Amino acid sequence: MKAHPGRLASALLLTLMLASGASAQEGRDPLMRLERTARYSVEVLMDSARLMGLPTRPIESKVLEGLSKNASPRLILAVARNVFRSLRDARAALGPKATLDELDAAASALRVGMTQSELGQLGRSQHGKLLTVPLVVLVDLISRGVPRDTASQTIFQLWQRGAADDDFLGLWRGVERDIVSGADPGAALLNRARQVPSREPPPVSPPRPE
């Protein structure tokens, strides 16, 4: 069979065009699905976050979540701005050493009504432990109807008593079961919190001699 250079070249061209098209679909920016004006605003927002040393992943994730849920570009932009603001406030409250997960969890806590001063109080008594799990539990409790003040004060007291991640998760499971069984959310939390064993707080390092 005689190879025809023209046909060969056509086949090569077609294959490459299809391959580049498919690959471009896979590799392109996921935010490309967002309407152009909103995308521009989100990109500016993310650039600002980057300049301020804030993580951009939570913002991008919220945008993708909105796209997945068929939210309007206007709503997506509003949600992204809210996430940006809460990340900025969380960083201000927790300081530059907070991890990405802590910042993200703290930003969620701010969005359910926790104040920056309460967050800062938690951050100042970290003793080297991560705040992620206590904040996740706190946000869940508020979302399930526990009064905000009750939830934040209880979590703060347990935190100061040296409660570990497992203690907080155990508390959450108990309260969640009680609420499902019909208990008042605030009362369920106070009741379950009494059952959390008090742990020795981490040793406080003595002040250095002058």
Partner 1 sequence: MSDELNSIDESVRLIVMEARRPVAIDPEARRRLAEALRAEPAPTRSSRVLSWFVEPRPFALPPFTTAALAAGLVGIGVLTGIALNRDGRAPTEQPRAVAASSQLPDSVAPRAIKFVLVAPQAARVSVVGDFNGWDSAATPAKREADGTWTTYVPLRPGRHIYSFVVDGTHFVSDPSAPIAPDDGYGQKNSVVVVAGASS
List residues near partner 1 by CB under 8 A. Answer: 5-6, 9-10, 12-13, 16-17, 19-20, 23-24, 27-31, 46-47, 50, 55-58, 60-62, 64-69, 71, 75, 78-79, 82-83, 97-101, 104-105, 108, 111-112, 129-130, 132-133, 136-137, 139-140, 142-144, 165, 172
Q: How far is the CB of 175 from partner 1 (least distance, A)?
A: 11
Q: Which CB atom, from 119 or from 139, has the smaller least distance to partner 1?
A: 139
Q: Which CB atom, from 152 or from 209, has the smaller least distance to partner 1?
A: 152
Tokens of 16: 């490459």
Could you tell me which of 100, 104, 163, 166 has the C-alpha nearest to residue 139? 104
Q: Which CB atom, from 124 or from 177, has the smaller least distance to partner 1?
A: 177
Q: How far is the CB of 194 from partner 1 (least distance, A)?
A: 21
Q: Which CB atom, from 74 or from 124, has the smaller least distance to partner 1?
A: 74
Q: How far is the CB of 122 from partner 1 (least distance, A)?
A: 14
Q: How far is the CB of 210 from partner 1 (least distance, A)?
A: 30
